[in-house]
Amino acid sequence: MARDQEITFYSDEQTLRELDELADDQDTTRSTVVFELVREGLRREREGAVSAETRASERLQDLLDDGLTDMEDTAREIQDLNAKTGVYAVAAFELVKQQHGEAAIREALQTGARRLREDDVDDLASGGDDDQSATAEDDSDQDGSGLDFEALREGNQ
């Protein structure tokens, strides 16, 4: 590599003396010492930039790992909650089954299935839960179109 490009810079007297001493110690010229120092400084700059990018990438990976761990924890909690909900539903069904006949149980299951389907359709149409439509459905169930839950509670059906 030819060193044929001239660079001029200004320095204070102390720095110039230090450059000359370094050149004498290395048995070379001031120009060679300055050239090597500049090359070393440029190399360090490049390494610093690569190191900063590496640290940023590592930090991003750490954040992704933390997010994944949080999602896994949340999924486990939801799974546990769903399992507990299922247990309560089965327990409630077993208790109802002990006090009511097969026809009442079948009707209650049909009503539950219909409500789930209606809620799905209502949710899609309205974009969410609507307390007023839920109240209207509850009232219609007590009018004879479904199971009378008050009667179930009292054991009259």
d(CA 29, CA 36) in angstroms, rounded, equals 11
Q: Examine residue 152 and state whether it is found in any structural domain, yes or no.
A: no
Between 86 and 62, name the one with better pLDDT. Answer: 62
Higher-pLDDT residue of 84, 112: 84
Q: Is the dihedral of CA 105, 107, 108, 109 positive or negative?
A: positive
Q: How far apart are CA 83 and CA 77, in angstroms?
A: 10
Rounded to a whole number, what is the largest CA-CA distance in the chain?
111
Q: Where are the alpha helices (DSSP H) in the chain?
A: 13-26, 30-99, 102-126, 131-140, 149-154
Over residues 70-83, mean pLDDT: 93
Of 116, 120, 109, give the one whose Cα is nearest residue 146: 109
In a domain, 151, yes or no: no
**38 domain-assigned:** yes
When pLDDT is cut at 50, 70 and 90, the band that residue 122 belongs to is low
Q: Which of 20-24, 85-89, 99-103, 136-140 has the lowest mean pLDDT?
A: 136-140
**Residue 92 lies in domain:** 13-118
Query: Would 28 be classed as within a structural domain?
Result: yes
The answer on pLDDT for 89 being more than 60 is yes
pLDDT score, position 154 = 58
User: CA-CA distance, 111 to 119, in Å (whole number)?
Assistant: 12
Q: What is the pTM of this model?
A: 0.41
Per the listing, tokens 């219909």 go with 114
The answer to the question of residue 149 being in a domain is no
- In degrees and rounded to multiples of 5, residue 29 shows phi and psi of -95, 165
User: Is residue 91 pLDDT above 50, yes or no?
Assistant: yes
Is 145 domain-assigned? no
* Whether pLDDT at 77 is above 50: yes
Tell me the C-alpha distance between 96 and 69, whole Å.
41
Looking at residue 149, what is its pLDDT?
56
157 in Cβ contact with 148 (< 8 Å): yes
pLDDT of residue 132: 45
| pLDDT at position 134 | 44
**Domain total in the chain:** 1
Please tell me the predicted confidence (pLDDT) of residue 140.
Answer: 43
- Whether residue 78 is contained in a domain is answered as yes
